[in-house]
Structure 1
């Protein structure tokens, strides 16, 4: 980061935005928009694809329980109207509509004047920093994603073979650490089922399962994992845990991009979308995410931004730089996707023999929308003040997306008159009990990372 500059930066969370919104004028909505526009620049994470359905082909995934995002390109212009200057595009929905979906998204984000990073026609393009020119200096963004399927990873070109379009990956290896007794039990079960794989075995159809294993580790060759590098490695030990680590090649490649950005820009942002966890999605980031965040700052990043669990997580200050492990949702409008493909109806258990009678209004079709999800419908606009190259203050301005911030999450702003009403999903300034709950969560989770959040007048403040 260059010295002598004063910056104001706004950070918005995960934008699962599927409806135009620039026509709205409620005071609490416009207040949120002004928090974005009043900064020198604003970052947001775009978790949808932009395009017309005629621009893309069939959906590119099948059995995943999740929404298939394609949004009217006008909404990209609405994000620019809101003040978004630069956005990360790498996430587990980037490849929902294949390569053409990636290309259409890039085209429409470009047309809206939003700089971006994280996807591309090959790995070099997906991994390179995106650059934003501002009056204060040059901003760089590196965007990466963990948890995508293997066909969604961008690859480099080789000789006459083009690289694969996709996301900039940061693949993770999960190790399932079990005690000796459980290890022997698992081996016995695996042996009886014929799916145990150890390094000394030579079994057809599972040669890649132990490529990431070390001596003494073993794997269970689940039928769907054959001819792959596998999804489980068991490590005998004296305790139980799920341990994660980032792929060495992906780590090195992303750190090179961060180092490039630190040379070529005055302020470096790194965005990491992770849709995987070490078990359930709790309140602490996976080990490999925290390790990458620290390595990114060591490589030259000024601000590290994490997202993917659709919930707010704690803030850590590392080497004087802020790490936001979970931004949470800024728009939550997956209920309003215009068209839903066959795969989604099948995955959610609808009678696909009646497919002509099924519509996007069918329920259920999307995850995370039940009333018992306290964190799905809230987040905060993060405003940072930087002076002489250092972050001096971080403010957390809480927002709610149309439901009360509580376990029951009753509706505040509904859409439609069905028995299962939909939630508006736009951000508005949270007040009173809603604001307090959002900020107390930040306060509690950040304290565990050694960071103090002071709550005053409905705003959270972190003094660096």
Structure 2
């Protein structure tokens, strides 16, 4: 038996009738023996708005059923928004996902709970997933006594370039060793329990194509050196480069999958704080959302999508690849094949990978693109 393991990036379902947004991709998602996605925001009607970042609104709890009906088996939760409705929001999201039979990892009632892996077995093969937030805010990090997410602490240092006080600076970013060691301990504990080990990071710089912060490759490689078979990234809301390290795939940014929200729109935004951020981020990151995409207020290049598609042989050998995709104006992702549209997205992935120095080789295998 060959196990089909598929992984997608961010899932944000702020709009009603969540099933609608999965309809064009439902047939492809249904082919996965194990399907993994990142639930970005809390699904709750309770809780108090958190501090430390621009909080997202609580998404409708009933939309978790749409994620279940789309065929997801594992949800990663460690991210910068999962604590936006506090501990109650996390508890409601966990309860709602578990009610759908979806295993979770990355958030919980305390740090120990957040670090518990999700494990799913199919056909005698066990897949284990760990989830870590690399982007803050620290108010959302779990502690021994506080609900939140598992995390890797990233330290930033800005060094002035040239004799120009106040001028351009180079950003140096690196992971706090103690949190890396905690991740390594989690991987070591999980490794003998599973055949395939996935580490999912919430990492990177938002809305910035063809960019990897200094810490990203180091953290991803540390996970593989500790025993991970597959590393994925979410958070950036654009896809990022793909590489292999020691024969293992790293999907630095899976980008968006179903992400439908008005919380990042200027028009009709009922939150002054979120509206101000929607205006400011366009200046900070230099893009204008496409007005034809009212539920998808992201960088124009975020219309390019990928779905990681890994095939696991009975002996645990992994053939890594991805399916290209495209976001429709309705907010519905469409999974593409080996045709002109799919080739255009595959070419985009090759371009952004090369732009950040990744020497990945790509080849078509049926309707997916393999990497080596």
Which band: TM-score by shorter chain?
A: 0.7 to 0.9
Q: Is the 8 A contact 2:288 2:300 kept in 1?
A: no
1:406 maps to which residue? none
Aligned residues: 354
1:70 maps to which residue? 58
Q: CA deviation at 1:399?
A: 2.2
> Structure 1 residue 101 and structure 2 residue 8: aligned?
no
> Structure 1 residue 402 and structure 2 residue 328: aligned?
yes
> Structure 1 residue 462 and structure 2 residue 348: aligned?
no
Instruction: State the alpha-carbon separation in 2 of the partners of residues 284 and 25 from structure 1.
Output: 29
Q: Is the 8 A contact 1:92 1:275 kept in 2?
A: no
Query: Paired residue for 1:36, among 29, 45, 61?
Result: 29
> Structure 1 residue 241 and structure 2 residue 150: aligned?
no
> Structure 1 residue 61 and structure 2 residue 57: aligned?
no
Superposed CA deviations along residues 359-412 of structure 1, whole A, max 9, x for unmatched, are xxxx97997871282222331222111223222242x32222223xxxxxxxxx
1:205 maps to which residue? none
1:300 maps to which residue? 227
Instruction: State the alpha-carbon separation in 2 of the partners of residues 401 and 385 from structure 1.
Output: 25
> Structure 1 residue 441 and structure 2 residue 370: aligned?
no
Q: CA deviation at 1:69?
A: 3.6
Alignment of 1:29-428 (within 5 A): 29=24, 32-51=25-44, 53=45, 56-61=46-51, 64=54, 68-156=56-144, 163-179=145-161, 181-182=163-164, 185=165, 241-274=170-203, 276=205, 281-335=208-262, 344-349=271-276, 370-371=289-290, 373-387=299-313, 388-394=315-321, 396-403=322-329, 424-428=330-334
Q: Is the 8 A contact 1:332 1:401 kept in 2?
A: no
Change (3 A) 1:366 1:133: farther
Instruction: State the alpha-carbon separation in 1 of the partners of residues 248 and 317 from structure 2.
Output: 8
Change (3 A) 1:345 1:275: farther
> Structure 1 residue 451 and structure 2 residue 370: aligned?
no
Instruction: State the alpha-carbon separation in 2 of the partners of residues 107 and 326 from structure 1.
Output: 27
Q: Is the 8 A contact 1:89 1:118 kept in 2?
A: yes
Superposed CA deviations along residues 94-135 of structure 1, whole A, max 9, x for unmatched, are 011111111111111111110010101111111221222322
Query: Paired residue for 1:22, among 3, 19, 22?
Result: 19
Instruction: State the alpha-carbon separation in 1 of the partners of residues 198 and 358 from structure 2.
Output: 20
Q: Is the 8 A contact 1:50 1:71 kept in 2?
A: yes
Q: CA deviation at 1:14?
A: 1.1
Q: Is the 8 A contact 1:398 1:435 kept in 2?
A: yes
Q: Is the 8 A contact 1:451 1:462 kept in 2?
A: no
Superposed CA deviations along residues 412-453 of structure 1, whole A, max 9, x for unmatched, are xxxxxxxxxxxx212123476643432211112334311112
Q: CA deviation at 1:13?
A: 1.9
Q: Is the 8 A contact 2:29 2:71 kept in 1?
A: yes
- SS of the residue corresponding to residue 243 of structure 1 reads strand
Q: Is the 8 A contact 2:117 2:130 kept in 1?
A: yes
Q: CA deviation at 1:23?
A: 5.8
Instruction: State the alpha-carbon separation in 1 of the partners of residues 53 and 98 from structure 2.
Output: 31
TM-score scaled by structure 2? 0.85
Instruction: State the alpha-carbon separation in 1 of the partners of residues 138 and 21 from structure 2.
Output: 40
After TM superposition, the structure 1 stretch with the greater mean CA deviation from structure 2, 111-120 or 370-379, is: 370-379
Q: Is the 8 A contact 1:399 1:428 kept in 2?
A: yes
Instruction: State the alpha-carbon separation in 1 of the partners of residues 346 and 271 from structure 2.
Output: 35
- SS of the residue corresponding to residue 4 of structure 2 reads strand
Gaps of 5+ in 1: 157-162, 190-238, 351-362, 404-423
Q: Is the 8 A contact 1:377 1:425 kept in 2?
A: no
Instruction: State the alpha-carbon separation in 2 of the partners of residues 249 and 283 from structure 1.
Output: 29
Change (3 A) 1:49 1:369: farther
Q: Is the 8 A contact 1:16 1:331 kept in 2?
A: yes
- SS of the residue corresponding to residue 300 of structure 2 reads coil
Q: Is the 8 A contact 2:21 2:333 kept in 1?
A: no
Q: CA deviation at 1:303?
A: 0.6
Q: CA deviation at 1:332?
A: 2.0
